[in-house]
Amino acid sequence: MREINHWIRGTATPGTSDTKLDVFDPATGEPQAYVLAATAAETGAAVAAAKEAFPGWRAASLSRRAEVMFRFRELVDANRKEIAALISSEHGKTVADASGELARGLENIEFAAGAPHLLKGGYSEQAATGVDVYSIRQPLGVVAGITPFNFPAMVPLWMLCNALVCGNTFVLKPSEKDPSVSLLLADLLRQAGLPDGAFNVVQGDRVAVETLLDHPDVEAISFVGSTAVAKSIYERGTRNGKRVQALGGAKNHMVVLPDADIGSAADAAVSAGYGSAGERCMAVSVVVAVGDSGDPLVDAIQKRIGRIQVGPATDPSAEMGPLISREHRDRVAGYLADPGPAEVVVDGRDAPCTGGPGFFLGASLVDKVPPDSPLYTDEIFGPVLSVVRVDTYDEAVELVNTNPYGNGTAIFTRDGGAARRFQYDAVCGMVGVNVPVPVPVAYYSFGGWKSSLFGDLHMYGPEGLQFYTRTKVVTSRWPDPATSRVDLGFPKVR
């Protein structure tokens, strides 16, 4: 079987450890490759490579760094098909979905290419007599990214483009479940002219992550993954004095008011609930049906589920692929086996599938889910949509706002006033108005509230640039020896 290497100093580097982690093809259920989980020494070597590359890359002019991003963008664009196929082969999502992920990743490269404009500081002439004050943004040094399985291209691109264009060097620890794309991106960065060592990849698991968290030469950590891990990464990283942004899990509510167009709302719920088999951090996992919207909405969703084609990414007619692993598929199916007082309207365990014995589970719909049910309280992260019925708008908002997660939420209505009120009321980082998956474009930033994000700054976009730089303020005078004198008083500006 093929080993998926590390990438250190611009070269694919075989692993040396005894810890072999299989990489599966989720559509067949068979292992197809493996990584040798990086040891502390191997992770340290990647950090050392990044540290050595930092002074040179930092000194590269802004236009040179932007030029690398432009070239990288062209290379990723030219290799779209190959990258999408690679994502599908290890993640299991359809090729169309993988291409969509990549398109959103490309946006981040394009944003980073404009960084010279966005990194401009401020300048105050004559802040005091003969004194000018100005601010500049400088890179942090070596920064690290730890990424989840569900977006093996897009989430690394959320981080690495802004980090590199700001002049930092980078160590990526991708998900061990679908690690190949990170190597392809590393090679494209090399072809784009990024100096060796400026971008490194260590394959592996907890050992590599903890080494990065404890390493004195790593200045900042960007993490995306589940809430429990995000919280521990934030705590350990900040305890070690690092800047940390750690994005966690989600339970995204889609509120449907009685005046909504039920057909459009059902289309949106099905697209956002079952796209990528529900393994998106912005997937809709709870539909909150307000008033008498419940019966027609459940009926409309059920009808649409019957038409979803489940199958492997190699089947061009497939709309939904398998889940990432056998354990995960079985865990998700467990919610259907034991729904408590809720009503299973569609049981995905019975769904027809064009695939083989892979980790498939069909789209599932559970109605009348009580808010204390694990169907509501857990992040299921699979194709199980729960419908919670409430009588009023206020009850719907109460659910959104008291839920421990606060990644995304959406409202479906024809009433502009209600939509505006919802955008004001929702305790949540990203809000959609008749848009079920409100992932911000790359020139805004992405981030949830509450247990969906630990740290202050959101990821990518303007807040990404802020995260990967620190501000220096310079106060400057060019004295005239004729007027220079000793003055022990506190510096005055008037």
Q: Could you tell me which stretch among 56-64, 105-113, 190-198, 242-250 binds ligand NAD (CB under 6 A)?
A: 242-250
Among 71, 173, 389, 458, the residue binding ligand NAD under the rule CB under 6 A is: 173
| 97 near ligand NAD (CB under 6 A) | no
Whole-Å CA distances, 381 to 225, 273, 274, 335, 447? 12, 10, 10, 11, 18
Q: Is 250 a binder of ligand NAD (CB under 6 A)?
A: yes
Sign of CA dihedral 293, 295, 296, 297: positive
C-beta of 407 vs 413, nearer to ligand NAD: 407
Q: Minimum CB separation from ligand NAD for residue 471, in Å?
A: 26
Options 46-54, 142-150, 361-369, 419-427: segment touching ligand NAD (CB under 6 A): 142-150
Least distance CB 489 / ligand NAD (angstroms): 52
In terms of CB distance, is 280 or 389 closer to ligand NAD?
Answer: 280
Question: Please, are residues 220 and 456 in contact by the beta-carbon 8 Å criterion?
Answer: no
* Among positions 448, 455, 461, 464, the unique one binding ligand NAD when judged by CB under 6 A: 448
**Per-residue mark of binding to ligand NAD, 273-292 (x: CB under 6 A):** --------x-----------
Which tokens in the block code for residue 236?
């350990």
Distance separating alpha carbons of residues 220 and 14, to the nearest angstrom: 26
226 binds ligand NAD (CB under 6 A): yes
| Cα–Cα dist 453/456, whole Å | 8
Q: Are 73 and 193 in contact (CB under 8 A)?
A: no
Among residues 97, 176, 219, 367, which is the contact residue for ligand NAD, using CB under 6 A?
A: 176
Q: How far is the first Cα of the chain from the last one, in angstroms, to the nearest whole number?
A: 73
225 binds ligand NAD (CB under 6 A): yes
Tell me how far, at minimum, the Cβ of 452 lies from ligand NAD, in Å. Answer: 5
Coarse DSSP helix, strand, coil percentages of the chain, rounded to the nearest 5 percent:
40, 25, 35
Contact by Cβ (8 Å): 259, 414: yes
> What is the smallest separation between the CB atom of 114 and ligand NAD, expressed in angstroms?
23
- Pick the closer one to ligand NAD by CB: 178 or 347: 178
What's the closest the beta carbon of residue 62 comes to ligand NAD, in angstroms?
29
Tokens of 126: 């004559």
Residue corresponding to tokens 């790359």: 442
428 is catalytic: no
Q: Is 148 in the site for ligand NAD (CB under 6 A)?
A: yes
Q: Which residue is nearest to ligand NAD (CB)?
A: 225
Q: 161, 166, 281, 353: which is the annotated catalytic residue? A: 281
Using CA atoms, how far apart are residues 321 and 157, in angstroms rounded to an integer?
A: 23
**Residue 26 binding ligand NAD, by CB under 6 A:** no
- Give the type of residue at 104: R
Torsion-angle region of 111 (φ positive above 0: left; ψ -120 to 50: alpha; else: beta): alpha
Gap between the Cα atoms of 317 and 94, Å rounded: 9
Assess 209 for contact with ligand NAD (CB under 6 A): yes
CB of 100 vs ligand NAD, minimal distance in Å: 15
φ and ψ at residue 342, rounded to 5 degrees: -75, 160
Helix (H, G, I), strand (E, B) or coil at 242: coil
Give the start-end residues of each E strand in 209-283. Answer: 218-224, 243-247, 252-256
Nearest to 164 by CA among 101, 214, 119: 119
Asked if 310 is part of the footprint of ligand NAD (rule: CB under 6 A), the reply reads no
Kindly state the smallest distance separating residue 279's Cβ from ligand NAD, in Å.
Answer: 7
* Using rule CB under 6 A, residue 452 touches ligand NAD: yes
381 sits near ligand NAD (criterion: CB under 6 A): yes
Residues in contact with ligand NAD, counted by CB under 6 A, come to a total of 27
Residue of 24, 54, 149, 335 interacting with ligand NAD (CB under 6 A): 149
Nearby residues of 131 by Cβ (< 8 Å), 6 or more positions away: 475, 476, 477, 493
Is 108 a binder of ligand NAD (CB under 6 A)?
A: no
Check residue 171 for interaction with ligand NAD (CB under 6 A). no
205 binding ligand NAD? (CB under 6 A): yes
Strands (E), 97-209: 123-128, 131-139, 142-146, 169-173, 199-201
**Least distance to ligand NAD from the beta carbon of 463, Å?**
13
Q: Provide the pairing of β-strand 218-224 with 142-146.
A: parallel
Q: Given phi > 0 = left and psi -120 to 50 = alpha, else beta, which region is 291?
A: left
Q: Is 206 in the site for ligand NAD (CB under 6 A)?
A: yes
- Of 43 and 407, CB closest to ligand NAD: 407
Q: Which residues are catalytic?
A: 281
Chain residues binding ligand NAD by CB under 6 A are 146-151, 155, 173, 175-176, 205-206, 209, 224-226, 229, 247-250, 281, 379, 381, 407, 448, 452
